[in-house]
Amino acid sequence: MTDLSFIETWNEWARNLSVVFLAAAVVVVLIYVVRLALTKEFKDKYDFINKSEINNLWYASLLVIIGAGLFANTLIVGIGLTWFFVRLFVTIMLALIIGVIVSNILKFYYPFYVEKRLKKLRFAPRISPKTGKPMKLLSEEEEDVYLDEGMQAEENIFSIDYDVWVDEETGYTKIEKYNGHLHALQCSECNYQTLKVVKEEIVESPTTTTEGELMKYFKCTYCGHKSRKSFKIAKLKETTTDAASSVTTA
């Protein structure tokens, strides 16, 4: 009798807690969606998605798994204390397995989808606040005149990548800053997007007359595959040209 009373009490609390966890998951997702919708600038959306989306989905998933596990644990009633602990153990094990599956999906598969969205946001036409017309995205060669020596040095070693947008009518310029190797690449061995830069080494420093060479070392965080690739570093400029007026940096 005592056992059944204890189980009934547990079932009641577990049902109530499951509702709380599931509601919390919905709140986490809604807050993220609302904050994203209220973010207007493409660059700000890019940074927000890149920084928060996968983490928010993971937190929401954990809340759903816990809530669903608590609710599922209450579906079997009228059993003894031994079977109560058995079903509790089975529920925890299933929750852990589902958690690992969801974690792997968010870590190894979902980044492909995020990368496509981020790329679309990064290269979506920027609108000039001066004329209301689309601005021009400059090529790597064209943008150097708008970057100071420090910015060019960051690009040369691939630690930072700058996008320069120009309003050709007014000369208004907007510079956006991106991490040079923020996102993992697709591994040639396992095909997951888990190949990351682990080391960069300047093999030959550039001069004003010759290009330099940078060696980047990659390692897959999933299968452990290692590779390296050589990149050219642009020649040093002897003089710099003043950038156009009205430059903003994002």
pLDDT at 208 (0 to 100): 80
Task: Please give the residue range of the domain that contains residue 107.
Answer: 2-122
pLDDT band at 7 (very low <50, low <70, confident <90, very high): confident
Count the Cβ atoms, other than its own, within 10 Å of residue 238: 7
Is residue 20 assigned to a domain? yes
Domain co-membership, 108 together with 145: no
Strands 212-220, 195-204: pairing kind = antiparallel
Number of domains in the chain: 2
Write out the E strands in the chain: 136-137, 160-166, 173-179, 195-204, 212-220, 226-233, 247-249
State the number of CA atoms in the 13 A half-sphere of 132 facing the CB: 0
The pTM of this model reads 0.71
Is residue 241 assigned to a domain? yes
Domain co-membership, 160 together with 116: no
pLDDT band at 18 (very low <50, low <70, confident <90, very high): very high
Domain co-membership, 23 together with 112: yes
pLDDT band at 45 (very low <50, low <70, confident <90, very high): very high
Q: Which one, of 72, 104, 129, lies nearest residue 250 by Cα?
A: 129
Which of 76, 96, 122 finishes a domain?
122
Domain co-membership, 9 together with 111: yes
Is there a contact between 160 and 151 (Cβ–Cβ < 8 Å)? yes
Kindly report the average pLDDT of the chain as a whole number: 84
Report which listed range, 22-31, 134-143, 161-170, 227-236, is most confident: 22-31
Map tokens 């550039």 to a residue: 206
Is there a contact between 174 and 165 (Cβ–Cβ < 8 Å)? yes
Is residue 129 assigned to a domain? no
